[in-house]
A and B are shown apart, each in its own frame.
Chain A
Amino acid sequence: MRIDDNSIKVNRTTCIACGICVDRCIMDNLRLSVAPCRQACPLDMNCQGYIRLLALGKEEQALEQVREFGPLLGVIARECEAPCESACTRRRRDGAVHILKLKQYLAQAYAGQLRAIAVPGTPSGRNVAVLGADIAAMACALRALQAGHTVTVFTDQEGRHEDVADALEAAGAVFRAEADLDPAAHDAVVLAGPGHGSRLGLDVAPGAVDAVSHQVEDKVFCADSGRARKGVAYAIAEAFETMCSVDRFFDGVPFAWGRDRYAQGGRVKECRVDERVGSNEPRSPDTDPGSVFDAATARRQASRCFGCGRAFERNKTCWYCLPCELECPQQALEVRIPYLVR
């Protein structure tokens, strides 16, 4: 029968909408309603998560939320058009939360830690070549390192992102001149942009790469299906998706839309998203690119966040078995025994 009693209680002040409880539920009872900022973000970055943690004064934990972006966070914080702020619920009330500036604050205050985060994963025995020097190339190289592949970046240009390149080099990526590229020596070749195709004698039309597989030829991939030029976050998102495809290619798993984080941890993660509404198009941000926040200002600004996203009980199939409560990093969730049983 339909049961309307809520047995899962979520504390809206402390929930960071990370979705761990949703992942853990063995009865498929929970869903995550995704905050508008996260829905708008091409990188699926949990803005609400780190903002809520900043507001609670838990900066180290806030950093955990953006850890996977490592040295890229600084670039994103500097150059992103911030579609998150355009989507912010508070924008219609008294102005959006200054999400980008909070990101800048994190990127600056923890620059050293973020640089060191590009730690290679468990060695996979695979060897990946990345062609290019722009942010997409850096993002491809970062993901490949995180997946445990051996990475060589081939570029002749002085990149605009020397700090990122340095961090990647420190983590084990090798940088070489484009002329040194021997495709036969690598298990996969990733072109950061279509222009690099000529190096392999391939004519890759800009924006014409298959948006799901990103595959140009057997073992050659290109991180440009047309979205990449819409902005820095889109370019990075497309690079991440391409590397997902590369990992699928390595494991012999069919290509699929890239957000399932297939490459991470060897588990096929499922989309936690309940309903994605709203536009992914960037709009001009309301923020004024002024000075960077200090800790107190950041905390004050962060506490303006309404905390729109949260986990909720969707299917009323709770077995009151507790893993969701146990695994919640914020102790924001409480399992109550359903009323009929209580």
Chain B
Amino acid sequence: MNIRRMETDILIIGGGSAGCMAAIRAKELAPGTGVCIWEKGDFKYCGSIARGMDALNIVCIPDLSDPDMYLEAVQAGCKGVVDARPSYVMAQRSYELLKKLERWGVRFIRDKAGNYRTLQYHVKGRFQTAMDEPNLKLILDRKVEEGNVAIVNRVMALSLLKDGDRIAGAIGMNTRTGELIVTRAKAVLVCAGGQARFNLPASGYMHGTFDFPGNSGDGYIMALDAGAALTGMEFCSRTNLIKDASIPLLAITVTRGGRVVDCFDQVLMENAVNRTDKMNKAVDEQRGPLRIKLQHLPEEMVKEIEDILFTCERPVQQRFFRNRGVDFRTHDIELWPTEVQLCGGHGMSGVRVDANAWSGIPGLYAAGDVACVPKQHLSGAFVFGEVAAENAVEYCGTAPDPAIDDAAVKAVADRHAALADSGDRDIDVREFEYKVRRIIGDYVPSPKNAYKLNRWLEWSKVFKVELENGVRIEDGHDLARLYEVQHIIRCADCSAMAALAREESRWGDAHHRVDFPETDDANWLKHVIVRTGDQREHLNVSTAPILGLNEDPYNAN
């Protein structure tokens, strides 16, 4: 098989928010460093912020809030299971980040006195800073172009390559032609997003997900296979979003005075998104569907909300509401708990990284939704993209060129050829994905119990056999999709194994074991870590203590 080969210093897998920021920062620090981005889709609008964003979620504006306050807020949000340093560093650098974005032309909303508009999203502190920038991705795209970064579109990363203990590059495939591509790199930054395609969304439409549905856990599985540790995989976050459309608008509406009510019109939240636990409880107690009411707001506020919703992040919701005849002035917005996702940005699942975005493997860094910096949102993706680039540039300065492990490349290429050779296989890859995700939804998310989680692990074995021998492939797209489903299955394995280990309930709906319904701080105020075992695809589950401000999980020496 023809394999395309490239060489670079830093390979960034994923061209979304974290990947862009990493590329820009690397070129800023060391213009001579070779930087290459692999993007599964097309770079110009890829990632979860294709059409911009309504706010920078976490900014510590001097005199208004500080990193210590943020740490307290995020520790409360994560029920104590969070390493302090990464979150602290992110908060520390957040204001600098805002200033930088503003210099690049990103529009932040300010009042007449020049103060930024802050909104209450956390239990304590107003960290969310309003932004009004439909062209955020285009601005990043231009900055990347100026840096002369090599961008390779339509490449899905399949596996990381190692040279001994250190990283040596990656192997990927073109999602249209199936052609393999090997890039040798001194450092690899995994910025491939979380796992947005976990179970089926409530609408039944497989790609109607909250986050970009191209995020199929590729980064988790690659890092896992390379020897990195995953943490928080038992955190299956399920958000209340616009019913059927699965588009978020809670923060935008509620922080501007909207009310969340249950079926008895009892107000659960108003002015601040600080009681999502109350929302989840109401849904659990069958007091749903929840609704957002905006009728009581003055016309100019409704107009402002509309302007933001219909231009930033997911402007398509204008069409959605028009189709359904929903006018915010007269109608409620119905919410529904939609699909479950694993995500480092909204939830707390991901590669365990230290405050340098380092995964513990020489040369391997992770940033954005693939990394566990809990509830970091967009701010975290940007800051840790920069942090990862800074450390990767430093690492590249001293590291010698790695050698490509030809046996590993051949193993991937052989399996690739075997999967692509359809023979008499007859399962349609779409139906395969549908069934996998339906079964995941049945067994893996809350309410969890040992029997259900073990049932998934049995199903997973069946699916893995079918994946190798039963699914029909017609083109590169189908093949990429098959790999994606493989990653979905393996992420579910990680989630089920971690959930089996954590014999308690925590984080409300995200991890609710009916056989261990109480939160057990005495025994479980710690991380559940998933790593690859002795054999590939065999998982080892362990626990690790929660680290304070002066502790790091990995020893650089």
Contact = CB atoms under 8 A, between A and B. Distances in A.
Interface of B is mostly: loop
A25 interface: yes
B244 A341 contact: yes
A321 B428 CA distance: 26
A277 interface: no
Contact of B207 (A23, A27, A252): A27
A319 B477 contact: no
A1 interface: yes
Interface stretch (B62-70, B148-156, B549-557): B148-156
Interface in A113-143: none
Given A1-B206, A342-B323, A271 B177 contact: yes
Nearest to B434: A1
A315 B50 contact: no
Contacts of B175: 28
B6 A253 contact: yes
B50 A26 contact: yes
B522 to A, nearest CB: 44
B242 to A, nearest CB: 10
Contacts of A340: 203-205, 208, 244
A301 to B, nearest CB: 35
Nearest to B15: A26
Nearest to A253: B6
Interface string A265-280: 0111111000000000
A322 interface: yes
Contacts of B5: 254
A251 B208 CA distance: 40
B447 interface: no
B44 interface: yes
A337 interface: yes
Interface string B296-337: 000000000000000000111001100110000000000000
A308 interface: no
Contact of B4 (A24, A256, A323): A256
A319 B4 CA distance: 30
B41 A338 contact: no
Contacts of B50: 26, 321-323
Nearest to B196: A319
B165 interface: no
B316 A322 contact: yes
Contact of B46 (A1, A26, A315, A337): A26
B205 A27 contact: no
A318 to B, nearest CB: 7
Interface residues of A, number: 36
Contacts of A27: 41, 207, 213-214
A322 B212 CA distance: 13
B41 A25 contact: yes
Interface string B6-28: 11000000000000000000000
B208 A26 contact: no
A93 to B, nearest CB: 32
Could you say which of A3, A26, A335 has the most chain B C-beta atoms within 10 Å of its C-beta?
A26
A2 B430 contact: yes
B42 interface: yes
B51 interface: yes
Contact of A322 (B51, B174, B205): B51
B154 A335 contact: no
Interface string A304-342: 000000000011111111110000000000011110111
Interface string A239-261: 00000000000001110100000
Contact of B205 (A314, A321, A341): A341
A3 B207 CA distance: 11
Interface in B170-206: 174-177, 203-206
Contacts of B174: 270
Interface string A18-58: 00000111111000000000000000000000000000000
Contacts of B44: 24, 323
Interface in B202-253: 203-209, 212-214, 244-246
B534 interface: no
B431 interface: yes
Contact of A342 (B150, B320, B477): B320
B494 interface: no
Contacts of A342: 244, 320, 323-324
A23 B44 CA distance: 10
B45 interface: yes
Contacts of B246: 341
Given A23-B42, A26-B50, A28-B154, A319 B212 contact: yes
Interface of B: 4-7, 40-47, 50-51, 148, 150-154, 174-177, 203-209, 212-214, 244-246, 314-316, 319-320, 323-324, 428, 430-431, 434, 477, 480
5 contacts: A27-B207, A28-B477, A253-B6, A323-B50, A337-B319
Given A24-B45, A319-B212, 13 more contacts: A3-B205, A24-B42, A25-B42, A26-B45, A253-B4, A270-B174, A271-B177, A314-B477, A321-B316, A322-B50, A335-B316, A341-B244, A341-B320
The 5 closest A-B pairs by CB, nearest first: A26-B41, A340-B205, A323-B45, A321-B50, A1-B434
